């Protein structure tokens, strides 16, 4: 599991999410309308050259790695964000409260795109919902908070796109949806984990209180051909 979590995008595209993969034996990336994420078997100069050759001009991709001094030449780094990978080790949360949670479907995609554009939880495309188990909270008929799955292996599932409309912040919706996702993942016999920017101290502290621990530093590289 350690090696899988150190290279989560690669192993997701190699196994459980292979149907969404493009690339070759050493370099894989999600179809553009699913997500911008790319995985390499190893972060070698040869594999970055392969990736460069496979991508169309101006394509932007995102790589997760614990490696702080990455050189992806000939790709150019547009942004490097330090963060953490956090793994859930707490007890399965019990259901509390009475706020209804809705399973989101393709009809909700326009709302989901609008919410993620506003709240900026990370990359979200027209087919990102296909990662599965996206669920949200509606108020007065409008989607105000959501969360879902993203990277998956045979032992773990990443929780992603946790976001709340700024007008509805402070209501505890993020925690409610995180607990909901944790229950779904644990009931399927897998380990929940997530990624977070290290400067997002409020979120990091919330995740710790909920039973997540920092497993490793993780750097998010936004790269462009």
Using a pLDDT cut of 90, give the percent of the chain over it: 96
Which two tokens mark 164?
Answer: 């709340």
Contacts of 159 (CB under 8 A, 6+ apart): 147, 148, 149, 150, 178, 181, 182, 185, 192, 193, 194
In the predicted model, what is the mean pLDDT of residues 122-135? 95
Residue 105 and residue 134: Cα distance in Å, rounded?
8
Q: Domains in the chain and their CATH numbers?
A: 2-83 (3.40.630.30), 86-216 (3.40.630.30)
Burial of 5 per CB tally in 10 Å (0-12, 13-18, 19+)? buried
Residue 159 and residue 17: Cα distance in Å, rounded?
15
Q: What's the residue count for the chain?
A: 225
The per-residue pLDDT for range 142-172, each reduced to its tens digit, is 999 999 999 999 999 999 999 999 999 999 9
Supply the pLDDT for residue 95.
Answer: 82
**Confidence category of residue 2, pLDDT binned at 50, 70, 90:** confident
Angle at alpha carbon of residue 12, lines to 8 and 14, rounded to 5°: 115
Least-confidence region, from 9-18, 43-52, 87-96: 87-96
Supply the pLDDT for residue 97.
Answer: 74
Residue 109 and residue 117: Cα distance in Å, rounded?
12
């Amino acid at each position: 599991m350690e090696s899988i979590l150190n290279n989560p995008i690669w192993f997701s595209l190699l196994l459980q999410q292979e149907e969404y993969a493009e690339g070759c034996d050493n370099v894989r990336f999600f179809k553009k309308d699913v997500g911008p994420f790319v995985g390499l078997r190893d972060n070698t100069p040869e594999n970055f050259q392969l990736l460069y050759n496979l991508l169309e001009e101006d394509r932007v991709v995102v790589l997760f790695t614990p490696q702080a001094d990455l050189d992806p030449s000939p790709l150019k780094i547009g942004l490097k964000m330090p963060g953490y990978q956090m793994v859930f080790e707490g007890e399965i949360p019990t259901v509390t409260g009475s706020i209804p949670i809705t399973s989101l479907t393709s009809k909700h995609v326009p709302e989901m795109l609008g919410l993620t554009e506003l709240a900026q939880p990370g990359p979200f495309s027209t087919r990102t919902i296909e990662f599965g188990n996206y669920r949200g909270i509606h108020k007065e008929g409008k989607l105000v908070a959501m969360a879902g799955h993203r990277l998956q292996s045979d032992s773990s599932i990443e929780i992603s796109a946790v976001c709340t409309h700024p007008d509805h912040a402070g209501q505890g919706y993020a925690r409610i949806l995180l607990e909901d996702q944790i229950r779904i993942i644990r009931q399927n016999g897998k380990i929940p984990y997530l990624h977070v920017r290290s400067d997002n101290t409020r979120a990091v502290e919330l995740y710790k209180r909920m039973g997540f621990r920092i497993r490793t530093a993780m750097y998010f590289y936004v790269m462009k051909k």
